[in-house]
Amino acid sequence: MRQLADQLGLTFHELTLYQEAFTHSSYVNENRPTVRQDNERLEFLGDAVLELAVSEFLFKKFRAYSEGEMTKLRAAIVCEPSLVKYAEKLQFGAFIMLGKGEEMTGGRTRPALLADVFESFVGALYLDQGLGAVQTFLERHVFPLIDEAEKLRTTDYKSRLQEFTQHHGLGSIEYRIADERGPAHDREFIAEVYIDDKLFGTGFGRSKKESEQQAAAEALGKLNVEL
């Protein structure tokens, strides 16, 4: 834990909290009664602390965003794939205490396990040093990645089209795959998007989802929505 603290540029006051944060249930099961507590309780706490810290950050940084927009961006920041990315970046996997069986089956790199460990670490840091320390930690290691998440959000043309049509009462949206062409290994899909049964956009892509996104982008252009 001292090595981890040095790596993160932190000082851990109560080491047992962080040891608990990196203790998987499989390790507890194989080391009873010497070890009794895994990281699940800290994970529960860390999940709530992380949501609060990210919410406060978004509230202050994106002052023009609506509640719905902030909710979507927060979801992108605290979803499991994002938590895994943070844990991998910080090399948390190397510090997890696992049972032999979990170790042999690749638990150290298992996404769900890494996401849980990140949340439990946040819970431990909160109990050890308070919300301010959590905010500082996130500002250093997580919040710089938010711009990347924001770019992903803004290129979700289907969601933006859905929001625009609902806000302006333009009617229901329907996507149709108009055609598929090319061999199976090099397939191209052509999608059309209809709003209130009127064709508004056509898109091409290597997958149905990609073609639908392109169709939505064309529809947004016709509706004079800035991309």
What confidence score (pLDDT) does residue 215 get?
A: 93
What confidence score (pLDDT) does residue 68 get?
A: 82
Whether residue 126 sits in one domain with residue 95: yes
What confidence score (pLDDT) does residue 148 get?
A: 59
Which stretches of the chain drop beneath a pLDDT of 50?
A: none
Q: Which residues pair with 192 in a beta bridge?
A: 176, 202
In a domain, 227, yes or no: no
What confidence score (pLDDT) does residue 10 get?
A: 93
Counted domains in the chain: 2
Whether residue 176 sits in one domain with residue 140: no
Where is the domain boundary, 123, 154, 185? 154
Where is the domain boundary, 124, 154, 184? 154
Instruction: Give catalytic residues, as residue numbers.
Output: 47, 119
Q: How many CB atoms lie within 10 A of CB 185?
A: 5
The whole domain housing 202 covers 157-222
Give the CA distances from residue 203 to residues 161, 164, 193, 217, 218, in Å, rounded to whole numbers and listed in that order: 14, 19, 8, 8, 7
Q: Provide the CATH number for the domain around residue 214.
A: 3.30.160.20
pTM over 0.85: no
What confidence score (pLDDT) does residue 190 get?
A: 94
